Homo-oligomer: A and B are copies of this chain.
Amino acid sequence: MARRYFVGIDLGGTNIKGGIVDEDRTVLSRVSIPTEADQGPDHVIGRMADLVGRVIEEADLAKSDIEAVGIGSPGSMSHTLGIIIKPPNLPGWENVPLRDRIKEMTGLPTTLENDANAAAWGEFWAGAGRGTRHMVMFTLGTGVGGGIITDGRLLRGHFDNGAELGHTIIQPGGRRCGCGQEGCLEAYASASYTARRATEAVEAGEASSLADVLRTEGEITSEDVVNAATANDPLAVRIFDETCHYLAVACVNMQHATNPERIVLAGGMIAAGDVLLEPIRRKAAEMTWKAADDLPEILFASLGNDAGFIGAAGCAWLAREEGEI
């Protein structure tokens, strides 16, 4: 039987990444191009269709070798309808039938998934979650994204809003989140809110090496907090410890909700390394119940920036497995 090849496309506000992944999860080509989002949907869709051709060519394949195309796109979107609804970082996009447009332009079966689900599916299918059937992913970036795989299936939920784990409430009555809720995981543990909590403490007059950073750089980033914490700056240690604390709470909560074998941490913040991973593991182990020995393994994602397009290719594989396309 011929080998099976899938195209994955990761649509972002700045870049479009794409590549070919085969059924054994091997990446055969990868290409990144600027999105040029300011030129509107038709232009961007044209670029995506061109990219499909280019990644096929770079892998020395022909279009007839390709089984299907998967697209990961920012929300809001609908997997079922294949439509981009109104993503904040793609100006001018509103109810764009992206799946069918790409299908028409490429002549290939196409599926559309939100980018957080696609990245989680990528880690499950080809990365840190490979080999288990039950995984949860937290993506720690500007916000906190989530993904849930249960019994080998991607959890989408009734409203296609499953696994919005950054907006689970881990401190009722706590900090106001951008989403309108109080006490969201994201309002404590994302890179931007970690930086903001440090900035607020410095502005309130707490002594810290971060005061110099704020004065000279004009802002404090989460990397600054990590660096200052590593250098034992007491304020930074406290702020970063809180980030790890709330992430541990979130891990324990998902242990009891969907009871995965592995919890995968992804996103820009994992560049912090063991300074992030070790306290989350330790705090979760201290915090969790004693009624059963079912704390998931907590580990870092392994696909880096490729998770998006690999996961999109994996979603194409999944849609074919489930007979959806």
Interface residues of A in 201-258 (CB under 8 A from B): 245-246, 249, 252-254, 256-258
B287 touching A181 by the CB < 8 A rule?
yes
In the complex, are the beta carbons of B259 and A164 less than 8 A apart?
yes
Partner of A76 from B76, B153, B292 at Cβ < 8 Å:
B292
- Residue of B148, B252, B288 near A258 (CB, 8 A) is B148
Instruction: Judge whether A158 and B259 touch: CB under 8 Å.
Output: yes
Note all chain B residues with C-beta closer than 8 A to A288.
181
- In the assembled complex, the CB of A167 is this many whole angstroms from the nearest CB of chain B, namely 5
A257 vs B250: C-alpha distance in the bound complex, in angstroms? 11
Q: Are B292 and A157 in contact (CB under 8 A)?
A: no
**Per DSSP, are chain A's interface residues mostly helix, strand or loop, or mixed?**
loop
Contact between chains at A258 and B258 (CB < 8 Å): yes
**Residue of A179, A253, A290 with highest tally of chain B CB at under 10 A:** A253
Instruction: Say whether A258 contacts B169, CB under 8 Å.
Output: no
Partner of A290, one of B133, B180, B260: B180
Give Cα A170 to B167, complex, Å.
Answer: 13
Q: Verify A256–B168 contact, CB threshold 8 A.
A: yes
Query: Which listed residue (B132, B171, B181) contacts A158, Cβ 8 A?
Result: B132
Q: Quick one: which of B148, B291, B292 contacts A257, CB cutoff 8 A?
A: B148
A162 touches B289 (CB 8 A): no
A155 touches B150 (CB 8 A): yes
Indicate if the CB atoms of A257 and B162 lie closer than 8 Å.
Answer: yes
Do B151 and A153 touch (CB < 8 A)?
yes
Instruction: Check if B156 sits within 8 Å of A259, measured CB to CB.
Output: yes
Tell whether A42 is near chain B: CB-to-CB under 8 Å: no
Judge if A197 is at the interface, Cβ distance under 8 Å.
no
Which residues from chain B contact A290 at a C-beta distance below 8 Å? 179-180
User: When the two chains form their complex, are residues B296 and A259 in contact, meaning their CB atoms are under 8 A apart?
Assistant: no
Chain B residues with Cβ below 8 Å from A171 are 172
Is the beta-carbon distance between B150 and A257 smaller than 8 angstroms?
A: no
Interface footprint category on A:
35 or more
- Residues of chain B lying within 8 A (CB to CB) of residue A132: 158
* 0/1 interface trace, chain A 264-279, chain B, CB 8 Å (1 if under): 0000000000000000
Interface residues of A in 116-157 (CB under 8 A from B): 132-134, 148, 150-151, 153, 155-157
* A180 with B259, Cβ < 8 A, contacts A150-B150, A168-B253, A294-B159 known: no
* Closest CB in chain B relative to A256 CB, distance in Å: 4
Contacts of A292 in B (CB 8 A): 76, 159, 161
Given contacts A169-B249, A253-B253, contact A180 B289 (CB under 8 A): yes
- Whether the Cβ atoms of B257 and A179 lie closer than 8 Å is no
Contact B259 A161 (CB under 8 A): yes
Is A172 within 8 A of B249, CB to CB? yes
Does A165 lie at the interface of the complex (its beta carbon under 8 Å from any beta carbon of B)?
A: yes
- Determine the chain B residues whose CB is within 8 A of the CB of A148 once the complex forms: 257-258
Q: Which 6 A-B pairs have the closest CB atoms?
A: A157-B259, A159-B294, A134-B158, A158-B261, A180-B290, A162-B259
Known contacts A158-B296, A171-B172; 6 additional CB pairs below 8 A are A148-B257, A158-B260, A159-B294, A168-B252, A181-B288, A254-B257
